[in-house]
Structures are given as structure tokens and as C-alpha cells.
């Protein structure tokens, strides 16, 4: 196997951060996955991204929030961690996911990745858009009380 062509989450266990961005008033930011996203196009998701080699999980969280939304977290709360087992293009995937609740200034939010996120919008946790990304649906059910 050529190590240069190995894919995170497929050829080895990937490490990921997932972030549920909120405005401090009970509203959460979700995006609808565009054709440029890896998979699950048309589903609604929270923000997420991979942890790079030699990068701390919190550094990855801050980088990913800024890359996706053009703003920095005002506050960060650790929700928990878990594993995501999925399939992509017929291949099993395995991710370790560190999940966070992130306070943002909603006036500063910009969709920095329109090729991956065809729409951004704010929702109450009890009235989320459908369909949710399969992993996000599981996470929301698990962390719903912490997200209220």
C-alpha cells in the first residue's frame, strides 16, 4: 500500500472534531451538504473536520470553525467523544469524534465553503431541518439535553 495515498477514516482510523455552533439564545447553526461535500448530499449537518497530524484537538476545532464560518469561537464547551462507523463508496469508515458546543457571534458568520455547504441557517434544537446527516442524527439524540 502506498502510504501517500492513504485516506483518513478509510485506510486508518481518523480523528475528527464536530461542533454545534449556537448564538447563546437557543439557536443552532446547521448547513445543508452540497455536492462538493464528501457524502450525504442534501442532508443537514453541524460543522466538522479532521484533526491534522501534530495538531491538538482544540487547535483543529478553532481552525475548522474559522475555515468553515470565517469567525472564531467565543466560548467552547466539550460535549463528549465517540466513534462513528459508516460506509463511503462501499468502504467501511471509522472515526474518533470529539464533540463540542461552540458559541459564535452570529453576525460574523459567513459561509466560507459554499461548494460544501449549499445553505446555512439557524434552528432550535427541538425543530431541526430534515433529513439530518446520519451521524448528526445520532449525536443530536445523544446530546439533546446538553444542547438545549
Give the residue-averaged pLDDT of 7-26. Answer: 95
Look at residue 145 in the predicted model and tell me its pLDDT.
94
**CATH number reported for the structural domain that contains residue 92 in this entry:** 3.90.79.10
Distances from the Cα of 132 to the Cα of 33, 54, 127, 138, angstroms? 10, 32, 11, 9
16 in a structural domain: no
Q: Is the pLDDT of residue 2 over 80?
A: no
Q: Is the pLDDT of residue 138 over 70?
A: yes
Query: What's the pTM?
Result: 0.93
Domain count, the chain: 1
| pLDDT tens digits along 73-119 | 999 999 999 999 988 889 999 999 999 999 999 999 999 999 999 99
3 in a structural domain: no
User: Which residues make Cβ contacts (< 8 Å) with residue 72, sequence separation at least 6?
Assistant: 62, 65, 66
120 in a structural domain: yes
Q: What percent of the chain has pLDDT over 70?
A: 98
Amino acid at each position: 500500500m502506498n502510504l501517500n495515498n492513504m485516506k483518513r477514516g478509510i485506510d486508518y482510523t481518523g480523528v475528527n472534531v464536530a461542533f454545534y455552533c449556537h448564538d447563546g439564545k437557543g439557536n443552532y447553526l446547521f448547513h445543508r451538504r452540497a455536492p462538493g461535500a464528501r457524502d450525504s448530499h442534501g442532508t443537514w449537518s453541524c460543522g466538522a473536520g479532521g484533526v491534522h497530524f501534530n495538531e491538538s484537538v482544540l487547535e483543529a476545532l478553532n481552525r475548522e470553525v474559522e475555515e468553515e464560518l470565517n469567525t472564531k469561537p467565543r466560548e467552547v464547551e466539550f460535549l463528549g467523544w465517540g466513534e462513528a462507523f459508516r460506509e463511503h463508496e462501499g468502504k467501511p469508515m471509522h472515526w474518533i469524534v470529539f464533540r463540542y458546543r461552540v458559541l459564535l457571534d452570529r453576525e460574523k458568520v459567513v459561509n466560507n465553503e459554499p461548494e460544501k455547504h449549499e445553505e446555512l441557517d439557524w434552528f432550535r434544537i427541538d425543530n431541526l431541518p430534515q433529513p439530518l446527516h446520519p451521524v448528526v442524527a445520532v449525536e443530536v439524540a445523544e446530546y439533546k439535553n446538553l444542547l438545549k
